[in-house]
Structure 1
Amino acid sequence: MKLDSLLVLVVEPSRVQRHIIADALRGLGVRHIEPFDSGTAALERMRRETPDIVLSSMHLPDMTGTELVTTMRRESSLADITFLLVSSETHYRYLEPVRQAGAIAILPKPFDRDELRTALQSTLLYLNDSDAEPPEIDDFEHLRVLLVDDSGMSRRYLAQLLQNLGIRCLHQAGDGAEALRIMRTETFDLVVTDYNMPHINGEELVTHIRHHSEQPSVPVLMVTSEQDSSRLAAIQAAGVSAICSKPFGYDNAKQLIQQLVLDRDL
């Protein structure tokens, strides 16, 4: 799949902004672009034909971008569509659900063409890996991974990413407490975990793994939207192997996971 074969829905109430976004997409090689001024109209179109990408503003006349992506993730036929948010919104209340829903990128408004190009390239790699045959890599074929996240939508997206890498033995937990229960009876080659979770958060999970588990050296990748520098420092001090931000570029995440499980040395 190439950029000129992608079907992209642009959901933006401003005609001027729709033209700006569409022109930027065409300038990068995207040819099939359909504009919509509301979330309802875009959803109706998606249900008739599944697009490759939905690129949406945050504030729509009938719903927010958060509500749009949440609706998509709850419908099986729309759940795997790649979602990009373009917004000047910076409020945590609006952006965090979008991050948790597995948006592949959140672009500022106005964005520059390089930012859009990076997001599209990451999306294209994700889509191509989704369609490809499982890679013939023995290390991944037998790799055992534990995925920990209290957001079902986020787990679904991360699980798809891991499966695109050829990982088939994947266990999932809804929080750190459940993860530790699983780790009492199962061994893993990689733990991928969120930070903000009920009961036992990501930092506490890492600390327990490093000091009180039977698998103290297992690589732990923290995938989080946390931006507080003191909390991030505490996560590092707890012994996390690597930290990846939400939303993250698929290609960067892929390389990081490969390095963690193949090289075991960052």
Structure 2
Amino acid sequence: MELQELLILVIEPSRMQRNIITGHLRSLGIQEIEEFNEAGEALERMQTITPDIVMSAMHLPDMTGSELVGEMRKSPGLDEVVFFLISSETMYRYLEPIRQSGAATILPKPFDPEELHKALISAVEYVEDSHHQDDEPDATFEDLWVLIVDDSKMSRRYLARILTSLGVMNFREAKDGAEALQILKNQRFDLVITDFNMPNIDGLELVQHIRQYSDQPTVPVLVVTSEQDDQPLAAFEKQGVTAICRKPLSYHSLKQLLHHLISDQH
């Protein structure tokens, strides 16, 4: 798939902002663009056509961007559509649901056109892999096992799709560190992917237990988190985690990292 083949829905109440966004998209050769000034009309349109990407502001006349992506993730057929937020919003209570939803990117206003281009390239790769998900899996990774630990069901689903695109067919899911520890008692894994902030046992406690008390202390651990403060994340580095990625996740970057980690294990 090429950029020019994308169908994009732009949801932005400001006509000026919509013109800026669509202008940049058209400069990249993208012509299939539908514009909306509120979420309800866009959701209604999505019942008849499935876009490749939805780009939305945070504050819309009828709901927030967080509520919009929540509605999409509950709707079959829209639950895996790529979502971009373009907003000047910085408040945690608005942005956290976006990060947890598997959103592809959060771009500030005014956004950097080059960052938009990079996000679109990553989205194209995600869409293309989604279309080829039923193809013959890569035999290189068919025997590997990965444990995904995240209290967000949407985040777990997004990570599972990336693993599937790599040819990893064997993975288990845990909703927090406590459940992950029970699974680790009975099964060995080639890679653990964990969130940081979770109920019961969080990601840091999980990593500490794996490194100090489990019978697989050297298993690679990738931390994927919405935590934006560097200080709490420094504790993970002391525990010897393999890598740390922040949400929202770049599909291309995360896929490349996972491919590298898994290849090293193989």
**TM-score for both structures, normalised by structure 1:** 0.97
Give the equivalent residue in structure 1 for 2:157. Answer: 156
3-state SS of paired residue (1:47) = coil
Give the equivalent residue in structure 2 for 1:65. Answer: 65
> Matches of residues 1-266 of structure 1 in structure 2 within 5 Å?
1-132=1-132, 134=135, 137-264=138-265
Counterpart CA distance in 1 for 2:173 and 2:76 is: 19
- Between the two proteins, what is the percent identity of the paired residues? 57
Counterpart CA distance in 1 for 2:110 and 2:258 is: 32
8 Å contact from structure 1 (residues 36, 42) kept in 2: yes
Counterpart CA distance in 2 for 1:116 and 1:24 is: 9
Which amino acid is the alignment partner of residue 177 of structure 1?
A
Q: Which moved more, 1:63-72 or 1:133-142?
A: 133-142
Shift of 1:136: 5.2
Provide the aligned length of Structure 1 versus Structure 2. 265
Shift of 1:170: 1.2
Counterpart CA distance in 1 for 2:135 and 2:255 is: 14
Q: Deviations over 1:21-63 (max 9, x none)?
A: 0011111121100000000001001111111000000000000
Counterpart CA distance in 1 for 2:240 and 2:208 is: 7
8 Å contact from structure 2 (residues 147, 189) kept in 1: yes
Structure 1 residues 150 and 124, CA gap change in structure 2 (3 angstroms): same
Which amino acid is the alignment partner of residue 129 of structure 2?
D
8 Å contact from structure 1 (residues 180, 205) kept in 2: yes
Which amino acid is the alignment partner of residue 172 of structure 2?
H
3-state SS of paired residue (1:10) = strand
8 Å contact from structure 1 (residues 207, 239) kept in 2: no
3-state SS of paired residue (2:35) = strand
8 Å contact from structure 2 (residues 39, 62) kept in 1: yes
8 Å contact from structure 1 (residues 134, 165) kept in 2: no
Counterpart CA distance in 2 for 1:59 and 1:136 is: 41
Counterpart CA distance in 1 for 2:34 and 2:221 is: 41
Shift of 1:138: 3.0
8 Å contact from structure 1 (residues 10, 34) kept in 2: yes
8 Å contact from structure 1 (residues 135, 165) kept in 2: no
Which amino acid is the alignment partner of residue 55 of structure 1?
M
What is the CA RMSD across the aligned residues, in angstroms?
1.3
Which amino acid is the alignment partner of residue 71 of structure 2?
T
Q: Deviations over 1:10-29 (max 9, x none)?
A: 00001111111001111112
**TM-score for both structures, normalised by structure 2:** 0.97
Unaligned runs of 5+ in 1: none
Counterpart CA distance in 1 for 2:131 and 2:76 is: 18
3-state SS of paired residue (2:188) = coil
Counterpart CA distance in 2 for 1:137 and 1:43 is: 36
Structure 1 residues 134 and 234, CA gap change in structure 2 (3 angstroms): farther
8 Å contact from structure 1 (residues 219, 261) kept in 2: no
8 Å contact from structure 2 (residues 7, 32) kept in 1: yes
Counterpart CA distance in 1 for 2:58 and 2:69 is: 10
Structure 1 residues 246 and 135, CA gap change in structure 2 (3 angstroms): farther
Shift of 1:67: 0.2
Shift of 1:131: 1.6
Shift of 1:152: 0.8
Shift of 1:164: 1.1
Counterpart CA distance in 1 for 2:219 and 2:130 is: 27
Unaligned runs of 5+ in 2: none
